[in-house]
Structure 1
Amino acid sequence: MTELTAQLRAATAAVEAGAVAEADARDLAKQRRHHVSTQAWVTHLGGLRQGEGRRVVARAHALTGPLAATREALAAGTVSPEQADVIVRSIEALPVGEAVRARGEETLVGQVGS
């Protein structure tokens, strides 16, 4: 039962990433909800601590952009939201370069899944 709950939580985070990235791209927080930013809106809606919305939005953009494999693993429940955050931060710390970052993501997702 606990494993199933963890998989559901991960899959929900993958769906959330898509919704948050889309809301941010459309600037819905400002235009429709009168919040200063998507980060502030997410923090408010989720009852999160100050600054947590920034992490959620950064993860959303990474997972809907260059880290698609991480998002797929999240949706499959093989990577947790917290592990996805570590992958996002780790890849951002690598030198800029598509091949380097793609290999880094592949390695990290593989390590989490094993």
Structure 2
Amino acid sequence: MLLIESNDDDDDDDDNDDDDDDDDDDDDDDDDDDDDDDDDDDDDDDDDDKNSKTWVASAFLNKDLVRITSYAAQIFLRPRFSKLLLIIRHVLRCSLVLLFIRCRLTVLKHLYSL
């Protein structure tokens, strides 16, 4: 779309060469406005570059995360850690159940207070 606008501006400039000088000054002001629009488009390109850099960085982080997770899984799959893993899982499950009950009690308390 920018190429179409810039081509249209070039056509207008050719037409304006045949016109008076006053019209050329007005068109120059319009060209300045178009230049401002082009600057905004450059900012969009910078945002796209930042997004692509973020995507590349997240890909590397995910790769490292997979390595760490696989290493941790190897450690926890050892027989002496399997009981520890079961205990941790049980504690987490109980804490989630207690948190759920507490939230429900809080919601019920607020409903009855209304």
Sort the TM-score into its range (normalised by shorter chain): under 0.3
The structure carrying a bigger helix percent of its residues is 2
TM-score, reference length from structure 1: 0.26
Higher Rg of the two aligned structures: 2
